Amino acid sequence: MNATLDQRARPLRDLRISVTDRCNFRCGYCMPKEIFGGDFAFLPRAELLSFEEIARLARLFAEQGVTKIRLTGGEPLLRRKLERLVEMLAGVDGIADIALTTNGALLAGKARTLADAGLTRVTVSLDALDDEVFGAINDVGFPVARVLAGIDAAAQAGLAPVKVNMVVKRGVNDHHLLPMADHFRRSAHILRFIEYMDVGSSNNWTLDDVFPAAEILRAIDASWPLHPLQPSYPGEVAKRHGYRDGAGEIGLIASVTQPFCGNCTRARISADGKLYTCLFAARGHDLRALLRGQAPDREIAERLSSIWGSRADRYSEARTPANARHPKVEMSYIGG
């Protein structure tokens, strides 16, 4: 079938599915503790999409051209028996790649089961190698060693290369760029540096907090010379650079200073079944109501095609200090 194109001729290829809005970390750039504290009202279980509902949507999205699915959260490994969902998604015709983004806290005990179920790739968030700095960022004192153990377990389970995401915030962890690069050189894993973004409305983002990708590149290149690499696939968000000495590669995700809206092929579904066509969107489209209202496949498929066909999102290209303060959906609600 012909791929559905949005208003900027971008096809729908990637689907990110949040399976929970809960997380066991309280990182300031995503779920600051002062907002997501002990009295915060997370989604009741009955409001979450069931695995069967997610699998049905995956099948309908695959018919629209989606080939890649990424499971996100919150922290997706908090969702019980996630491997069962992975197995269901692996059986969907047209889905060639099933990935997971996790903070790594529970990964060591679950990597093998997930890989056996059909998970193909994993991305782990790790913002520093120093326990004091990392513990302050995750704000629950979680140790680095347990995240590294999760990365090792994922690699041993065949989920390699593991991608490691470091969100860089000026004055918080920018002094850990080189230690992170040094640690993951020659490891076969791919370290990716992400500019601190204005996702959601609760992280008090300002442009002054952004450590630009160009500065990151200069800092690492000064210690270990780099050269640019071609994208691995059309629409890849990370700009790849290889170490000239053959010690692997890094990626730079520069949504703030080098927007990549023009090639964005990603849609996102929240844990309660709302479809978002941009990470920085203010509102979503309710798919759960269709699912639970016994809507036939054709009606849902037509709705998906209509939503994507109307899409004109280009927030990062149009970002200004003023619109950056506008209300947006929280990253913990729809995943990264």
Beta bridge partners of 16: 70, 268
In this predicted structure, the answer to whether residue 69 has a pLDDT above a threshold of 60 is yes
Q: What is the mean pLDDT of the segment spanning 132-156?
A: 97
Other Cβ atoms closer than 10 A to 125: 23
Mean pLDDT of the chain: 95
Query: How confident is residue 48, by pLDDT bands cut at 50, 70 and 90?
Result: very high
pLDDT tens for 220-276 read: 999 999 999 999 988 889 999 999 999 999 999 999 999 999 999 999 999 999 999
**For residue 204, which of 117, 62, 112, 325 has the smallest C-alpha distance?**
325
Domains of the chain: 14-334 (3.20.20.70)
Q: What is the mean pLDDT of the segment spanning 66-80?
A: 97
The pTM score is: 0.96
- Torsion 22-277-236-317 (CA) sign: negative
At residue 197, what are phi and psi to the nearest 5 degrees?
-110, 160
